[in-house]
Structure 1
Amino acid sequence: MHCSQNPPAEIRQRLSAIRTFLLDLDGTVYLGEQLFPWSLEFLARLQRLGKEFIFVTNNSSQNARYYVAKLARLGVAARPEQIFTSGEATIYYLRKHRFGQEICCIGTPALEEEFREAGFVLTPRQPAAVVLGFDLTLTYEKVRLACDLVRNGVPFIATHPDLNCPTPEGPIPDCGAMASLITAATGVTPKVIGKPNPEMVEALCAKFGLEPESVAMVGDRLYTDIAMGRQAGITTILVLSGETQPQDLAESPHQPDLIADHLGKIAKWLD
Structure 2
Amino acid sequence: MTKEIRSWLSDMDGVLVHEGVALPGAADFVRALRDAERPFLVLTNNSIFTPRDLAARLRASGIDIPEDAIWTSALATAQFLTDQMPSGSAYVIGEAGLTTALYEAGYTLTGAEPDFVVLGETRTYSFEAITQAIRLIQGGARFIATNPDVTGPSQDGDLPATGAVAAMISAATGRQPYFVGKPNPMMIRSALNRIEAHSESTAMVGDRMDTDVVAGIEAGLRTFLVLTGSTRAADVETYPFRPSEVVDSIADLVARV
Instruction: Give the TM-score of the pair, scaled to structure 2.
Output: 0.95
* Candidates 26, 30, 36, aligned match of 2:23: 36
- Runs of 4+ in structure 1 off by over 4 angstroms are none
User: Does residue 1:140 correspond to 2:140, yes or no?
Assistant: no
Cα distance, 1:61 vs. partner? 1.2
Residue 254 of structure 2 aligns with which residue? 267
Residue 107 of structure 1 aligns with which residue? 94
* Candidates 135, 138, 154, aligned match of 1:151: 138
Cα distance, 1:44 vs. partner? 2.3
Cα distance, 1:225 vs. partner? 0.3
Between 111-120 and 56-65, report the one with greater CA deviation: 111-120
User: Does residue 1:51 correspond to 2:38, yes or no?
Assistant: yes
User: Does residue 1:178 correspond to 2:178, yes or no?
Assistant: no
Cα distance, 1:269 vs. partner? 4.0
Task: State how far apart, in whole Å, the 1-side matches of 2:214 and 2:24 are.
Answer: 27
Cα distance, 1:99 vs. partner? 5.6
Task: State how far apart, in whole Å, the 1-side matches of 2:6 and 2:122 are.
Answer: 34
Residue 165 of structure 1 aligns with which residue? 152
Count of residues paired in the alignment: 257
Task: State how far apart, in whole Å, the 1-side matches of 2:97 and 2:45 are.
Answer: 14
Task: Please state whether the residue corresponding to 2:182 is helix, strand or coil.
Answer: coil
Residue 4 of structure 1 aligns with which residue? none
Residue 213 of structure 1 aligns with which residue? 200
CA-based RMSD: 1.5
Cα distance, 1:38 vs. partner? 1.3
Cα distance, 1:106 vs. partner? 1.2
Task: Please state whether the residue corresponding to 1:195 is helix, strand or coil.
Answer: coil
Give a deviation string over 1:126-150, Cα, whole Å, max 9, x none. Answer: 1111110012232111011100011
Task: State how far apart, in whole Å, the 2-side matches of 1:61 and 1:52 are.
Answer: 25
Task: Please state whether the residue corresponding to 1:265 is helix, strand or coil.
Answer: helix
Task: State how far apart, in whole Å, the 2-side matches of 1:25 and 1:165 are.
Answer: 14
Residue 72 of structure 2 aligns with which residue? 85
Which ranges in structure 1 are unaligned for 5 or more consecutive residues? Answer: 1-9
Cα distance, 1:85 vs. partner? 0.3
Q: Retained in 2: the 8 A contact 1:99–1:129?
A: no
Which ranges in structure 2 are unaligned for 5 or more consecutive residues? Answer: none
Q: Could you say if the C-alpha distance between residues 208 and 52 of structure 1 is closer, same or farther in structure 2, counting changes exceeding 3 Å?
A: closer
Task: State how far apart, in whole Å, the 2-side matches of 1:253 and 1:59 are.
Answer: 26
Letter in 1 for 2:118: V
Instruction: Give the TM-score of the pair, scaled to structure 1.
Output: 0.90
Residue 60 of structure 2 aligns with which residue? 73
Q: Could you say if the C-alpha distance between residues 97 and 226 of structure 1 is closer, same or farther in structure 2, counting changes exceeding 3 Å?
A: same
Identity between Structure 1 and Structure 2 (%): 35
Letter in 2 for 1:88: L
Task: Please state whether the residue corresponding to 2:75 is helix, strand or coil.
Answer: helix
Task: Please state whether the residue corresponding to 1:200 is helix, strand or coil.
Answer: helix
